[in-house]
Amino acid sequence: MRTLTLALILAAAGSAARAQGAYVFQRAGEVDAELAAARQRDVALHNELMALDARLRAEQALRDTDPSRGAAPVRLLPPVKGAPPRHYASVPDDRLAASNARVKAAAENRR
């Protein structure tokens, strides 16, 4: 009788341990699923944030290049008639012609 009782106790303990082990594995699976869902939410939020940041930068670039925002227009200087202004370099015609002749002679005298 003692043997039968001991066998029943050991059998019950073994099935309880198996049931507890199954619960631990089930719970581990649930935790893994929760972590995967949290990772997916994190990636989705990160992607949304990056898309909003890119859109903001694009809108800012468009605003910076918008001509209607009141930027000062670029003024072109009128063409100069007559003698060149003093701050421009000027070369006399005879010196320029002599320099041009030297360049042409050097270009023809190739080795």
pLDDT for position 72: 64
Q: pTM of the prediction?
A: 0.39
Task: Give the mean pLDDT of the chain.
Answer: 80
Distances (CA, A) of 3 to 10, 20, 40, 60: 10, 25, 55, 85
Mean pLDDT, residues 25-54 taken together: 92
pLDDT of residue 64 exceeding 70:
yes
Please tell me the predicted confidence (pLDDT) of residue 6.
59
Averaged pLDDT, 55-59: 93
Least confident of 32-41, 60-69, 79-88: 79-88
Distance of alpha carbon 73 from alpha carbon 26, whole angstroms: 71
Mean pLDDT, rounded, for 13-22 = 62
Sign for the pseudo-dihedral over CA of 51, 56, 57, 59 = positive
Taking the C-alpha atoms of residue 102 and residue 95, their distance in angstroms, rounded to an integer, is: 11
